[in-house]
Chain A
Amino acid sequence: MRHRQMFAPLTAALAAATLVVTACGPGPAEKAQEGGEVRLQMVESLTNPTRTQLLKKLIADFEAKNDGIKVQLISPPTNQADQKIQQMLQSGKGVDVLEVRDTTVGPFSTNKWIYDMAPDLKGWDGLDALTPNALQVTQQGGKSYMVPYGFYGLSLFYRKDLVQQAGFSGPPKSWTEMVEQAKKINDPSKNRYGYSFRGGLGGGGNAIAVISGYVIDDINKDNAFKLTDGKTIFSSPKAVDALNLYVDLFKNASPPSSVSWGYPEMVQGFTSGTTGFLLQDPEVIATVRESKTIKEDQWGTAPLPVGPTGKAAQPLANAGWGVAQGSEQKEAAVKLVKFLTSGDAAMTFSKENSLVPILKSAAEDPFFKDGPWASYVAMNSSPDTYVVVTQPRGVPWSTEWGNKADADVQKLITGKAQPAEILKSWDEYWTKKWAGN
């Protein structure tokens, strides 16, 4: 009887303990060899439904070609993805292959969370197929924490009809021309504005694109926030001119509410026919094509506007695939990374995801030569005018900087701070950070 009395709670306790233990769940390592097959967990960061389907298709191809390897794709919502990945990496479990971005590679590698694939990539023929830019990213500082799958590069989307109506023969080539044309197009009484200004999330990046174009002759290409004399680009008097022009562009040629415009609003501004110009990545090409308001013959793309000396800095933002340091299936994980960043898989991913491609062979592909893509090709074929620079996006404080820069741009355009003040605080910020404080 007593035994029976003890049995119930003991069972309950045992069940609870089992639940707690199993809640922690077996990581990929424990699951890896179930039934003799290798199981990989892969996490993406810049999630969107279309891209997830594409990745699943590519993974299915990989599994078909690599018998005995199964890949489970985890797709957290974009706005929380990097945090989720960070937590997974910190726990050392649950992830083998992950999406690494130029903004996360720094903190991830500093904390030794991601694996240096350099030894595994030695002798891989995929390296020879990469463009110089892609190869540079793959072998940064002699380490290979990621292989990029593509680049995000800015170019100018413009309304051909509005430019023509405003009396101009073609799109603006420089920032000065851009302000001039945008002002002409601007007509608030018709709810029409010149420029899709990015004042909200990511606004700092666009402001820096203008500054970079102004200081391009003195810029350090390997660290595009520095001048060749070692000071920050924000300390240059030319940067003040750049921001003055940028404020002018906002005040006299942009929608007042664009103070809070992030990516979706600025794109919507252009596709709804509200604005005449938009500075954006190639992925927007597909979105603009879907517009019900503007027809294919009403818009086009042009290279990034240049600064006073006729040059522009082309900071190629990038993202790619890497392997977790905690993975116990590194060989299979590297195999998957190689598969995704070479041959048909890499080309398909670039095309369907509207990315500047990583493969040399893309230059011959008609897909990247025609229509809206032509401006990206033009920029890549004029490296003296559109100078490829590397921005310090991988520093551990990149998120903090992004938040600060965005908020400061809002202060600037709402008149709460002057260009010189903002630049002084940016200069101090980076000088301090680089000094290790």
Chain B
Amino acid sequence: MALTETERPAAGGTPGKGVPRRPVGNRRRFTGRTALVLFLFMLPAIVFVGLFTYYPLLSGIQMAFRNYNLNDLSDTSWVGLDNFRTLVGDEMFRGTVRNSLVWVAGSLIPQFLIGFTMALWLRRRFRFRGAYQALVFFPWAVSGFLIGILFRWMFNGEFGVVNDLLMKTHLIDTPVPWLADAKYAMVAVIVANVWYGVTFFAIMILAALQSVPDELYEASAIDGAGKVRTLFSITIPSIRTTLALTVLLRVIWIFNSPELIFGMTGGGPANETHIVTSYMIQVTQEGDYGRASAMGVMVVFVLLLFAVFYLLAIKPRTPRRKVAR
């Protein structure tokens, strides 16, 4: 039964005139028993998250401060900041930090631009759109390591399809040793990662685009806005939050996804394509869990800082009202 105007609660939550108050005696009080019931309902989730997320996390953090080497567990004593000091003094680690920045920037920008373009294109109605969408989203279903191995063969200097195509189209005269030369190898792994990650942006941006009301586009068309104006005045502002969060997520994922590099170059040639996380895996394989955990802690710390600053930077600013004097 609809409430009449007088019966509706007034703004602020206080009952309006004529609304019968619920008798105080009947109000459910938050008792200890209720708390226990709620806690028991939450217990399975607490146990699972604690066991599979926080225990490994805390275990990893404490390992970073220990001499924890799987090859010799006779002395796993606390070593304070030694693992971190070793890393800071490790020239190779510093190189992987530089490579990580190149890897993230080099992968993210093309992924974003191509993914955005694809999403805009896939939003339009055309024949076989469903089939195109399925094709475009396919790479996302394949493991990064496998993609790495695939591209390793494609970029092979002697029997790879990339050189074959470039030679046949006369873009190059002699085969390019893609994975054998440091300057080409980084380009090759980034190309593979762009191909792999474009899909993620396309999926996310397409989903956001579909939530933008058509009326806005109709109105902008009536107002005589061109395609570029519509893009910057309607489309981008409408999906701003999705774009921002997608970029944030992708930065974290790209930084944390060494499997493609591992499959494609193994960090070579001469460690030139190692990023921090692929180097971390290598150190783990060598058994030095202490040093690898120290890297892990550093990565988490840096990514947390980045996330905080990034979210602060993209936070919508409400314009201050001018105080009337």
Contacts and interface: CB of A to CB of B under 8 A. Distances in A.
Interface stretch (A35-43, A300-308, A373-381, A409-417): A409-417
Interface string A71-107: 0000000000001001000100000000000000011
Contact of A199 (B178, B180, B267): B180
A111 B158 contact: no
A32 interface: no
Contact of B73 (A10, A111, A256, A397): A111
Interface stretch (B227-235, B283-291, B316-324): B283-291
Contact of A110 (B40, B72, B181): B72
B286 A399 contact: yes
Kindly name the residue among B156, B269, B286, B288 whose own CB sees the greatest number of chain A CB atoms within 10 A: B269
A19 B74 CA distance: 34
Contacts of A9: 37, 40-41, 43
Contact of B269 (A12, A20, A86, A410): A410
Q: How large is the interface on B (under 10, 10 to 19, 20 to 34, 35 or more residues)?
A: 35 or more
B179 A257 contact: yes
Interface stretch (A56-64, A149-157, A258-266, A333-341): A258-266
Interface in B17-54: 33, 37, 40-41, 43-44, 47-48, 51
A291 interface: no
A138 interface: no
Kindly name the residue among B73, B74, B158, B174 whose own CB sees the greatest number of chain A CB atoms within 10 A: B158
Q: How large is the interface on A (under 10, 10 to 19, 20 to 34, 35 or more residues)?
A: 35 or more
A259 B288 contact: no
Nearest to A113: B73
B270 A16 contact: no
Given A9-B37, A257-B157, A259-B180, A396 B47 contact: no
Contacts of A259: 177, 179-181, 268-269
B71 A107 contact: yes
Interface in B255-299: 265-271, 282, 284-288
B182 interface: yes
A2 B36 CA distance: 13
Contact of B287 (A5, A16, A107, A200): A107
Interface in A374-424: 396-397, 399-400, 403, 406-408, 410-411, 414, 416
A269 interface: yes
Interface in A288-341: none
Interface string A254-278: 0111111010010011001010000
B71 A110 contact: yes
A293 to B, nearest CB: 11
Contacts of A265: 156
A13 B268 CA distance: 50
A20 B46 CA distance: 12
B40 A13 contact: yes
Interface in A205-236: none
A12 B282 CA distance: 42
Contacts of A274: 158-159
Contacts of A272: 159
A16 B70 contact: no
A256 B43 contact: no
A274 B160 CA distance: 13
Kindly name the residue among B70, B73, B177, B286 whose own CB sees the greatest number of chain A CB atoms within 10 A: B70
B40 A399 contact: no
B220 to A, nearest CB: 52
Kindly name the residue among B40, B284, B288 whose own CB sees the greatest number of chain A CB atoms within 10 A: B40
B177 A407 contact: no
A256 B180 contact: yes
B60 interface: no
B175 interface: yes
Given A107-B72, A257-B156, 18 more contacts: A6-B37, A9-B37, A9-B41, A12-B43, A16-B43, A16-B47, A83-B284, A110-B71, A199-B269, A201-B266, A257-B179, A259-B181, A260-B269, A272-B159, A399-B285, A410-B269, A410-B270, A411-B270
| Ranked 7 nearest A-B pairs via Cβ | A257-B157, A16-B44, A396-B71, A259-B180, A9-B40, A410-B270, A257-B177
8 contacts: A9-B43, A13-B44, A90-B70, A199-B180, A255-B157, A256-B157, A399-B285, A403-B286
